[in-house]
Amino acid sequence: MDDGVGPVRHHCGRGLARARNRSGERPSLVLIHGFSHSLESWDAMAAELDDRYRIIRFDLPGHGLTGPRDDKAYAVPDTVAQVSALLDDIAPESFALGGNSLGGLIAWRYAADHPDRVTHLVLMDPGGYPNLGVGDEPAPIPDAMRAYLTLAPEAGVQYATSTLYADPSKVTPEQLERIRAMMRVEGNGQALIERIEQFTLPDPNPDLARISAPTLILWGDSDAMIPATHGPRFDAAIPSSRLVLMQNTGHVPMEEWPVETAASSRAPRGITDA
């Protein structure tokens, strides 16, 4: 925990590495990052929201400094259970919850299972519907992808990261180095492969319908990973939701447009009134 202005990462043995921004009496906001990234993906947006929320974020298993799991339990239900156990330990009884991509998938599944804890839900280009060959069964992993995840070559990380943005010129060298360093933490590359091998996207509608928290859905109109056409499907399936299509935005709005993403989250019908 930190009484200063920035987050401090805490190491939890074989648990999840996490960070909290300044402590205080403000309501809490939990943020969950996407596949192959780390809690730093929220840095810029968290800085915009730190005056109103106690920010809690962490590295998912097999990501960042959390590192791989001995039991290799990376399926989505396993990750939801792991995050649930962590939040039982570090989060207050109720909190707002946000997530991007894989983190959005974990966030909405957690919210469906824990309606008593999640006050508001913010989903940014979340996973959920079948996509990229993944449905009831995992998609096969090409050899080139296996090599990329285990080696994290500089050119490969630059290309992969640029595809997440509508404007690749916004990607900084520091950002690329951080992503590459986190991917190259011992065991993370193999853990990412094992996660893909266990990753499925069954029909989400029955579970989305169980979400009772007011939900804000933000989607980049130029998302090359999960098409923006998925946004209206989420909006129709979640009982109390609002969809905002962000223009000139890719898959990671909180990184590409952190000020605007934070403003959307703070606005009427955002985190405080979705």
Report the distance separating Cα 254 and Cα 88, nearest Å: 26
* Per-residue model confidence (pLDDT) at position 206: 98
Burial 20-45 (b: 16+ CB within 10 A, else e): bbbeeeebbbbbbbbbbbbbbbbbbb
In whole angstroms, what is the distance from residue 3 CA to residue 166 CA?
Answer: 36
Cα 113 off chain centre by: 18
* Number of domains, the chain: 1
pLDDT of residue 227: 98
Per-residue pLDDT at 2: 31
The pLDDT of residue 11: 44
Provide the pLDDT for residue 4. Answer: 33
In a domain, 258, yes or no: yes
pLDDT of residue 1: 29
Q: At what angle do helices 173-183 and 188-198 cross, to 10 degrees?
A: 80
Residue 60 domain-assigned (yes or no)? yes
pLDDT value of position 256: 98
Close Cβ partners of 82 (under 8 Å, ≥ 6 residues apart): 16, 61, 73
Per the structure, the complete domain to which residue 122 belongs is given by: 8-266
| Residues in the chain, pLDDT under 50 | 1-8, 10-14, 22-23, 268, 273-274
Does residue 39 fall inside a structural domain?
Answer: yes
AA letter at 38: S
- Give the pLDDT confidence score for residue 25 in this predicted structure: 72
CATH number at residue 150: 3.40.50.1820
Specify if 98 maps to a domain.
yes
Q: Is the residue at 272 inside a domain?
A: no
The pLDDT value recorded for residue 6 is 46
Q: How far, in Å, CA of 271 to CA of 264, rounded?
A: 9
Domain for residue 2, yes or no? no
What pTM was computed for the model? Answer: 0.93
Q: What is the CA radius of gyration of the chain?
A: 17
Find out whether 258 and 100 touch, Cβ atoms under 8 Å: no
